Structure 1
Amino acid sequence: MHALKKLAIATATVGVIALSPMAAYAEDGDMSRQLTEARQEGSVWTAFALNRHLSPFSIDVEIENGVAVLTGEVESEVDRDLAEQVALGVEGIREVDNQLKVEGETADRSTADDSGAAFSTRFNDATTTATVKSKLLWNRNTEGLDINVGTRNGVVTLQGNTDSAESKELAERLARNTEGVRQVDNQLEVNAEAGTADKARDKADQAGAAISDAWISSKVKSSFLFNNSLDGLDISVDTKGGQVTLGGQVATSAEKDLAIEIAEDIRGVQGVNADSLQVGNEG
């Protein structure tokens, strides 16, 4: 099986594995299944290697009957979620058993003071940081930027570089409109070349991790729920070919406009149709 994995890794980047001569003589169904799973494992590993957010991590992949089991360690919950979505984007993968651990997670939990408010504050701050990082990663205008996020007692600090004053303001707005955020300390520096170095790697990311309709729908819905100014529970989201359709009901026209804006800014979204999203009791 190890030899098959090496073969898959070596050839997955071109999208074709020349196994037809072997397959022609492999009448046994189990052998055919192993070859398919080896190809899928190679494709997942290659996708991780091409993705700049995941390439530094050691992630092990095992495939069985279309289920990808991911083990290893990543730096954040955002990376953990991204690895799962990348694996789901590989043809033939129908489910992911995500067993990835977040660095320091075990130690943090073992040393936490479960009985005091300090633990609750740390937990809330960690959740806020993960949420803000997620929103920045999902947004097409900020996902390629070098932005570090930290939270202390509900105060979010943004550090790093953006490519424009507009993206700096957007990053702050995404953070400020997140549940649990009391204040944003925006220390981002505007650097016109901040996004330039990442453009080639962005293309590699897209090649290695095609954004699925299911990923888009989940991130649009999550972004609604994470936004303080919007009640996302009453909004339905459906995506086909990158085209997002919003339904349900919002309280005001401003909320409808905000929902459309949020959806349009999610990576991979090609267009938004909100004709079925009703305002108040209209219609």
Structure 2
Amino acid sequence: MPRVPSLLSALTLAMLIGGTPLVAHAAETELEQQLVSARQEGSIWTAFALNRHLNPFKLSIDVKDGRATLNGRVESDVQKDLAEQVALSVEGIDSVDNRIEVDSAIAEGNPPGLVQHLEDATLAATVKSKLLWNSNTRGLDIQVRSENGAITLSGNAQTSAAKELAGQLAENTEGVSQVFNHLSISSADSSSSEVQTAVEEARENISDGWITSKVKASFLYSRNLDGLNIEVNTQDGLVTLRGKVLSNAEKRLAMDIARNIRGVRGVDADALLVNS
């Protein structure tokens, strides 16, 4: 990538800090696009799992900006074309990069059942969502794959701490049996990225309703927390937790989860009681 002249860099940073609402809008738009892509991936996974001609095969799916990339192996050209048509049938998918290989020697053997296909699709979408909601991992380039309950993370993280956090978020997801954290640490652009992220977060105006829904969902997704007994309210970015938990460890976990959701300015857990 060519070096950006220092004057242009200064002007760009000045625009970011100068108060334009376009920064917040662009950041929020990018997040929404990522969430849409995650949902579309889940929809394609489900469609493959429900199709008896495709569910015996291990196919991988990656969606970005309405373009689905398919990988894996099938027995025939008919199945390869079918996978492409199924992906195109999902709302919002405009094009497909079909990299599926045809191998007539594939033995179907004992394919994973429909239930496992659906569980893996749901797990991958759940972990992706948690990473996008978290203020410390939302901007990372992370791909999530689930197979028989095992989550594999690949892509880039800016620091070892960010890599570790991504792994912890995946491990703490209900239904995940193990996590293979293959994230690479690439700190080349970390300084400029951290500055931009800090400016964006300062400019974002995330609704209280969005925060409340994501805190509740994160509680329900957590393996070590009974989220059904916790009431969540948000006002001006301040999250208030009420209800009962089984231990001080659960209370601390609930506070940590809420604190790290994007847009949260503080957490009040005085009314979250520990059962004696």
| TM-score computed with the length of structure 1 as normaliser | 0.61
Pick the aligned partner of 1:258 from 239, 253, 259.
253
Pick the aligned partner of 1:163 from 155, 158, 176.
158
Query: Hey, what's the Cα distance between the residues in 2 that align with 1:255 and 1:109?
Result: 37
Offset at residue 155 of structure 1 (A): 0.9
Offset at residue 199 of structure 1 (A): 5.1
Query: Hey, what's the Cα distance between the residues in 2 that align with 1:207 and 1:242?
Result: 12
The residue identity in structure 1 corresponding to 2:140 is: L
What is the aligned partner in structure 1 of residue 43 from structure 2? 105
Q: Aligned pairs, how many? A: 200
Q: 1:106 to 1:275 in 2, by over 3 A?
A: closer
Q: 1:145 to 1:120 in 2, by over 3 A?
A: same
What is the aligned partner in structure 2 of residue 130 from structure 1? 125
What is the aligned partner in structure 1 of residue 62 from structure 2? none
Offset at residue 179 of structure 1 (A): 1.2
What is the aligned partner in structure 2 of residue 75 from structure 1? 37
Describe the superposition over 1:155-214 as per-residue Cα deviations: whole angstroms up to 9, x where unpaired: 100011112111111110100111111110100112223545645764786599621011
Q: Does structure 2 retain, via aligned residues, the 8 Å contact 1:51–1:208? A: no
Query: Hey, what's the Cα distance between the residues in 2 that align with 1:107 and 1:191?
Result: 30
What is the aligned partner in structure 1 of residue 67 from structure 2? none
Query: Hey, what's the Cα distance between the residues in 2 that align with 1:163 and 1:143?
Result: 12
Query: Hey, what's the Cα distance between the residues in 2 that align with 1:163 and 1:48?
Result: 21
What does residue range 124-273 of structure 1 map to in structure 2 within 5 Å? 124-193=119-188, 195-196=190-191, 198=193, 202=197, 210-273=205-268
Q: 1:52 to 1:205 in 2, by over 3 A?
A: farther
Q: What SS class does the counterpart of residue 51 from structure 1 fall into?
A: helix
Q: 1:74 to 1:265 in 2, by over 3 A?
A: closer
Q: What SS class does the counterpart of residue 76 from structure 1 fall into?
A: helix
Q: 1:221 to 1:120 in 2, by over 3 A?
A: same
Q: 1:204 to 1:229 in 2, by over 3 A?
A: same
Query: Hey, what's the Cα distance between the residues in 2 that align with 1:140 and 1:170?
Result: 11
The residue identity in structure 1 corresponding to 2:264 is: V
Q: What SS class does the counterpart of residue 187 from structure 1 fall into?
A: strand
Pick the aligned partner of 1:276 from 261, 264, 271.
271
The residue identity in structure 1 corresponding to 2:162 is: S
Q: Does structure 2 retain, via aligned residues, the 8 Å contact 1:144–1:195? A: no
Q: Does structure 2 retain, via aligned residues, the 8 Å contact 1:220–1:262? A: yes
Q: Does structure 2 retain, via aligned residues, the 8 Å contact 1:264–1:271? A: yes
Query: Hey, what's the Cα distance between the residues in 2 that align with 1:50 and 1:265?
Result: 17
Query: Hey, what's the Cα distance between the residues in 1 that align with 2:189 and 2:229?
Result: 38
What is the aligned partner in structure 2 of residue 51 from structure 1? 29
Query: Hey, what's the Cα distance between the residues in 1 that align with 2:208 and 2:115?
Result: 35
Q: Does structure 1 retain, via aligned residues, the 8 Å contact 2:208–2:234? A: yes
Q: 1:189 to 1:224 in 2, by over 3 A?
A: same
The residue identity in structure 2 corresponding to 1:272 is: V
| TM-score computed with the length of structure 2 as normaliser | 0.63
Structure 2: gaps (5+ residues): 1-19, 57-110
Query: Hey, what's the Cα distance between the residues in 1 that align with 2:253 and 2:271?
Result: 15
The residue identity in structure 1 corresponding to 2:231 is: S
Query: Hey, what's the Cα distance between the residues in 2 that align with 1:172 and 1:261?
Result: 15
Q: Does structure 2 retain, via aligned residues, the 8 Å contact 1:51–1:204? A: no
